[in-house]
Amino acid sequence: MGAESLGPFDPGPTALGRCISLDAIRIDGETQSRAEIDIATVNEYADALNNRAHFPPVVVYHDGKDMWLSDGFHRYHAHRAAGRPSIFVDLRRGTVEEARFYASSANATHGKPRTAADKTHAILLLLTTEKGKKWLASKGKHGKGLQAIADHVGCSQDLVRKVLANRVPTSRSLGKGKTKPRLTKAESEVSDYLKAHPDAGNAEVAAALGVHRDTVTKTRAKTGQNKKPGTRTDALAPILRAIEKWTEQQLDLLFAELRARYPGRFA
């Protein structure tokens, strides 16, 4: 699923060569390869930018209408934090699914070292793509499918097996090769809520049901009830969607930083 690099191609009025407005780049297409954004890394990169450091361009896929960030989320948020209106990109022609496919292999050899959670998230992200599904379907053929997944993500075959075991624990057959995920009581409640509110974010679901956001994330992974890319209604929407995935500790760090930088606005 290779994509054509467009280099200096100008896909529309929002792009100036390879330097594109941050507001023109969508980050709500489930293309983030990491489990969560690390605020300390964002702040470190933002400080470096303010000290005139240069970063590699982020990878963006253009489908003819929208531009999807595929690799470089920490750099993207760092540019936001540093007050930069635009960012240099490696612009490629491709769909949001191709952006997900590329993202699932990103950060294996560069950037902030990946955690076990990051690798798990990347495996699950890959399995939402058609190529990932084909590899999964061929996993019984001498393990070639599992090895293809492991090679693409940059992890061990053992981790792929572990993730698959946790992703599709089945209780009973539903017919021709179809199985039903075994859910806990809390996960069943989350699944029901997502059926009724398909556009709900993780924070909203967790607050409504009184469960941890990790429970919502795990339920989405088991059931495939991933939030579809929506329409960006304002400039804050991408940031708010990213914050939905943050831990309480990360939120505390954010508010502490805001209070330190803007003491007159945050009590």
**Average per-residue pLDDT in the chain?**
78
Structural domain tally of the chain? 2
Q: Which residue has the higher pLDDT, 237 or 90?
A: 90
Q: Are residues 26 and 85 located together in one domain of the fold?
A: yes
Which uninterrupted H or E stretch holds 99?
A: helix 96-103
How confident is the model at residue 206, as a pLDDT? Answer: 79
225 pLDDT higher than 80: no
Question: Which residue from 216, 236, 234 is spatially nearest to 226, judged by alpha carbons?
Answer: 216
How confident is the model at residue 14, as a pLDDT? Answer: 38
Query: Which pLDDT tens digit goes with each residue over 115-149?
Result: 888 899 999 999 999 999 999 888 655 568 889 99
Lowest mean pLDDT among 101-105, 127-131, 220-224: 220-224
In a domain, residue 91? The reply is yes
How far apart are the C-alpha atoms of 178 and 224, rounded to whole Å?
14
Q: Are residues 86 and 60 located together in one domain of the fold?
A: yes
Q: Are residues 101 and 1 located together in one domain of the fold?
A: yes
C-alpha dihedral sign at 169, 172, 178, 180 = negative
Question: What average pLDDT does this structure show over 105-116?
Answer: 80
Q: Which residue has the higher pLDDT, 104 or 11?
A: 104
- State the DSSP code for 237: H
- Last-in-domain residue among 47, 82, 113: 113
By three-state DSSP, how is residue 63 classified? coil
In a domain, residue 5? The reply is yes
Question: What average pLDDT does this structure show over 84-95?
Answer: 94
Q: The domain that contains 95 carries what CATH number?
A: 3.90.1530.10
Q: Are residues 122 and 90 located together in one domain of the fold?
A: no
In which domain, by residue range, is 150 found? 114-167
**Overall size of the chain counted in residues:** 267
How confident is the model at residue 11, as a pLDDT? Answer: 40
Q: Which residue has the higher pLDDT, 266 or 68?
A: 68
How confident is the model at residue 12, as a pLDDT? Answer: 40
